[in-house]
Amino acid sequence: MFNKRASGVLAHPTSFPGSYGMGDLGTGAYAFVDFLAASKQKLWQVLPLGPTGYGDSPYQSFSSFAGNHYLISFDELKAQGYLTDDDLASTPAFDPRRIDFGRTIPYKMEMLRKAYDNFAVGEKPPKFKQFCTKNKDWLDDYALFTALKDSYGGHEWTKWDTSLARREPAALKAAREKLADAIEFCKFLQYEFFRQWSALKKYANKAGVQIIGDIPIFVAHDSADVWASPELYLLDKDGMPTGVAGVPPDYFTAEGQLWGNPLYNWAVHKKTGYKWWCKRVAAVLSMVDIVRIDHFRGFESYWAVPFGEKTAVKGKWKKGPGKALFAALKKEFGELPIIAEDLGEITEKVNKLRVNAGLPGMRVLQFAFDAKGDSDYLPHNFESSLTVAYTGTHDNDTTVGWYNSTDEIYRDYLRRYLNVSGEDVAWDLIRMAIASSAVFAIVPLQDVMNLPSADRMNTPGSTDGCWAFRYTPEMLASWQAERLAYLVGLFGR
C-alpha cells in the first residue's frame, strides 16, 4: 500500500465548478479526474464526505456513515428522469467562486424534494431496496434522526421530547409511522448519493487514480451516531457531554481549538472489541481506497475540556485507547490503508503508536522554515519514506498567502534553502514535496492554481467564510497538468 511513490491533489467535491451553488458529483468532478489523469497524478484526497452540520464543516457531520446529499448531481438526476429541464431552468445565479450556503442549501433541498417526488411515483428500483437492506444497520437510525430533526425545526436531539431523545421503543415506532415519507426521502437521498459516488470512484480508479478519504477522530454531538448509541460517549443523564474535544494552544490559535465534540467512552468501546470503530472504518473504505484519520494523536492521548468552557485552555490530556484499537483494526482489515494525521503537539509515545501500527505520518512544508534548519518538516529530516508530504492542508493558508504573510526572516531562509527568488513559491514547494523521499506527496488544488489567502479552505477556530472555496473551469489549465506531469516523471512518481 505504502511502498510505491505517488503524488496527488487535495480538492473537496464542493469546490468543483457547476451551476447549482456548490460543486457536486457531476461533470465538474469527472473533469477534475481527467485533469488528474493528464497530470499523471495517482491520488485524489478529499475531506470527509458526510452530511454537514454546524458551520457547514465536513468535520461536524450528522452521521459517520451517511453521504452528503448536497453533493448529488442535478444533471444526473435529470438523466435518471427525476428532474426536468423546466425544473433546472429556474436555477438562481450563484457565485461561481464562493459557496453561499445560506442560499444554496434551501435551493438544493427544494430540488432534491422534487426529484424524490418523481422517484416516489413509480415502482422503486430493486437496487434501491437492496441498498436500504444492505445499509439497514446505520440507515434506519440516520433516516429517522433526520426526519425527527426536521420535525423539531432543526433542534438538536437533546431538545426533542424525552421519549424520543431516550429512544423509547413505543415513541420510535410511532415516529416511524408518522414520519414515513420524510424517512423514505432521506433514504432516497442516500441511495442516490452512493450511486453517484460509486460511479465516480469507478471512473477515477479506471483512470489510475486512488481516492484518499478522511475520518474525523470525533463525531458531532448532534448526530445520529450519538443519538443512536449514547453509551459509546461520555454523556450526562440528559444526553449532554460531560467533556468535549479540542486541542491546546498551538501554531494556529493562542487559545487552542474548542471543537465541542463529545468524548468517547473508551472503556465501553474496548468491551465491544472496538466494533463501532471497525464498522466506521469499513464504511469509509467501501467508498475510498485509502483513509486519512484526522487528529491521530488523540488515540494516544486526547485533550479533554470541561463542558461549558469558552476556550480550550483549561483542558487536560487523557489517555486514549492506544495500540488496542489498532490491533482490533488490523485483526479486521489486515494491512491498514491509513494515513495518520500526526500534526500539532506530538510526543514520542504518539510516534511510537503510529510506527508500531505501520502508518505513515504527515509532514507539512509550510511548517518547515523556522530559520534554524532543524525542523522535522524539512525533507532532509523526514524520518523515513513512510511519510506523506504536503505543501499545506485544508487548515493551512494557501502557500502564496502563507509566504506573503510570514516573517521576512523565514522567507529569507526559504529562499536560501530552495535557491530561488520566491516569486513562484507555491510551485517551489510543490516541486520540493514531489522530489522528497516521502512515499506520497499531496498538494492542495489552491497551490496548483497559485491562489492567494482569500481562497484558503478553512481557518481553524473560525466559522467565517470557511469551506466556501470554488473554482471555475478555466482555472484548471493544461499548463498545470503539464507541469505536474513533468515533475512526476522527473522524480519517479
- 316 strand-pairing partners: 304
Helix (H) or strand (E) segment spanning residue 246: strand 243-247
Q: Tell whether the torsion through CA atoms of 300, 303, 304 and 307 is positive or negative.
A: negative
Let me know: does 151 contact 182? Beta carbons within 8 Å.
yes
**Phi, psi values for residue 34, rounded to 5°:** -60, -40
Q: Are 466 and 55 in contact (CB under 8 A)?
A: yes
Q: Catalytic residue among 24, 76, 184, 341, which? A: 341
**What is the C-alpha separation between 478 and 449, in angstroms, rounded?**
11
Residue 149: count other Cβ atoms within 10 Å of its Cβ: 20
CA-CA distance, 265 to 482, in Å (whole number)?
A: 50
* Residue 8 to residue 395: CA distance in whole angstroms: 18
Helix H or strand E segment including 387: strand 387-390
Residues in contact with 12: Cβ distance below 8 Å, sequence separation at least 6, in sequence order: 23, 46, 47, 58, 394, 457, 467
- CB-based contacts of 349: which residues, under 8 Å, 6+ apart? 300, 301
* Catalytic residue flag (residue 250): no
CA 128: distance to chain centroid?
26
Does 289 participate in catalysis according to the annotation?
Answer: no
Q: What is the DSSP string of 197-219?
A: HHHHHHHHHHTT-EEEEEE-SS-
**Inter-CA distances, 46 with 8, 58, 201, Å:** 11, 10, 12
475 burial class (0-12, 13-18, 19+ CB within 10 angstroms)? middle
Given the C-alpha cell 417526488, which residue does it identify? 117
Burial track 267-295 (b if 16+ CB lie within 10 A, e otherwise): eebeeeebebbbebbebbbebbbbbbbbb
CA distance 395 to 255: 16
Annotated active-site residue 341? The verdict is: yes
The distance of Cα 179 from the centroid of its chain, to the nearest Å, equals 30
In one-letter notation, the amino acid at residue 85 is: D
Q: How far apart, in whole angstroms, are the C-alpha atoms of residue 114 and residue 119?
A: 9
Q: CA 93: distance to chain centroid?
A: 27
Catalytic residue among 76, 156, 184, 294: 294
Phi-psi region for residue 275, left (φ > 0), alpha (ψ -120 to 50) or beta?
alpha
Catalytic residue among 141, 156, 225, 395: 395
Please list the active-site residues: 294, 341, 395
